[in-house]
Structures are given as structure tokens and as C-alpha cells.
Amino acid sequence: DVKVTQSSRYLVKRTGEKVFLECVQDMDHENMFWYRQDPGLGLRLIYFSYDVKMKEKGDIPEGYSVSREKKERFSLILESASTNQTSMYLCASSFAKQPGSEAFFGQGTRLTVV
Amino acid sequence: DQQVKQNSPSLSVQEGRISILNCDYTNSMFDYFLWYKKYPAEGPTFLISISSIKDKNEDGRFTVFLNKSAKHLSLHIVPSQPGDSAVYFCAASDFGNEKLTFGTGTRLTIIP
């Protein structure tokens, strides 16, 4: 069974803290993504990686960075957490060069910044 | 600029009837479209997809229709069941870009 696993289901962090969200996939997918989901805004892409050490900005990269040192792992970093980063964060992965390839999602991390 | 739009935030349908969820897009480069279903506190799961060379794709109770000239797609669920109650997202991509662009979602409630 395919799996995308996010390290935490729920996190509460303080304003200004550095926050790491981890994601691991076991499907040997080349592509990995970080989205955030907010009411009325749907899923918005933060960052995308198509290979180890490669990354591309998505639609809302400000305040975030990412790291992909191994193919199976993609980390999202909030350099200095702020209250407007309170959200549901979703990691996904997919095969590369397969048009229309479905993305598989993790269970999500509900982050609250206080 | 929202390139994929779902104009109905919510929809209620009687069990056994047809549910129709709509999605519009503005980017004419999109050539693959997908529907995802999401339950609370879970990640989205893939439901059905369609490429721009087709105008219909069916999988059991789920059918997706694509109208390229109108830049519109719809998801039909028939018959609707209580387990179909969830948020549905449409998503789109183009051949040269492997990112999925998602709509804002429609919350479907099936009334027993």
C-alpha cells in the first residue's frame, strides 16, 4: 500500500519559533510537494521538488523554505513562525514525467502558531 | 489569480440522487484534470481523472465530464451515498508542468 507519512498530526508552536515539518514517501516518487489548506482558499502550493536537492517555489513560498537531501524525504521549514501560518499542511508525492499522474497525500499536519 | 474555481462552497443532496459538482478553469494550457475527495483530518485521496483528449471518463458511480470550449468540468456521483459526504477538490495540470493547481473545494453533504 502506497504511503506518504507526515511526522506529526498536530503541532502547537510559539510565534518566532523555527518549525520543521517532515514528510516521507515509500513509493520512489521523484516529485514531492508541500501544500497548505485554508477554508475558502483550497490547497495552495508552497514548494515543489522534482529531484534530490532541487526545489521550485509554488504560489505562496514567503516565510517558508524546504530541504530535500534524500529522495524519500521532503522537509518544510518555517524560519520564524507567525500566527498567519496557522493552517493544515499537506505533503504529497507523484511520479515524474507522467502527465496527469495523481499525487498521493499524507494525512496532514494541523499547525497552530500562538 | 485563481486559475481553478469551484463556485459552490457547499452542496446538499438526498441519498440515492445524483450529485453534480462543478469546476471552471481559466488556463487554456491545462490538459489533465483530477478530482480528489477529502475527509476531515485526513489527506485528499484521488478519485478520478480525465485528459483533454477526452470529454468523459467513468469509474463506477463516478463520471467526469470535460467541456474544453467552456473550460468547465463536472463530477457526477450517482447514486449518492452517505459515505460520499466530504470536501471535493478539482485539480489541473499541464504537460510541461507537473504541479497540480487545486480549486477551493466543495463540501458535499448527502442527506439520508
Tabulate helix, strand, coil % of chain A (nearest 5).
Answer: 5, 55, 45
pLDDT digits (tens, 9 = 90+) for A71-104: 999 999 999 999 999 999 999 999 887 666 788 9
C-alpha cell at B5: 474555481
User: Which residues on B lie below 8 Å from A105 (Cβ)?
Assistant: 36, 43-45
> Least CA distance to A47: which residue of chain B?
B99
Q: What is the pLDDT of residues B26-49, one digit of tens each?
A: 999 998 999 999 998 889 999 999
Q: Is the pLDDT of residue A57 over 90?
A: yes
> Looking at A77-86, B63-72, B87-96, which range is the least confident one?
B87-96
Q: Please, which residues have CB within 8 angstroms of residue B51's CB and are 6 or more apart in sequence?
A: A99, A100, B31, B32, B33
- In chain B, which residues touch A (CB < 8 A)? 4, 6, 9, 31-32, 34, 36, 41-46, 49, 51, 89, 91, 93, 95, 98-105
- Nearest chain B alpha carbon to A96: B98
Q: Beta partners for B5?
A: B24
Q: Please, which residues bridge with residue A57 across strands?
A: A47
Residue B44: DSSP 8-state: -
**Residue whose grid cell is 440515492:** B16
pLDDT surpassing 90 at residue B96 = no
Average pLDDT for chain B = 94
pLDDT at B1 over 80: no
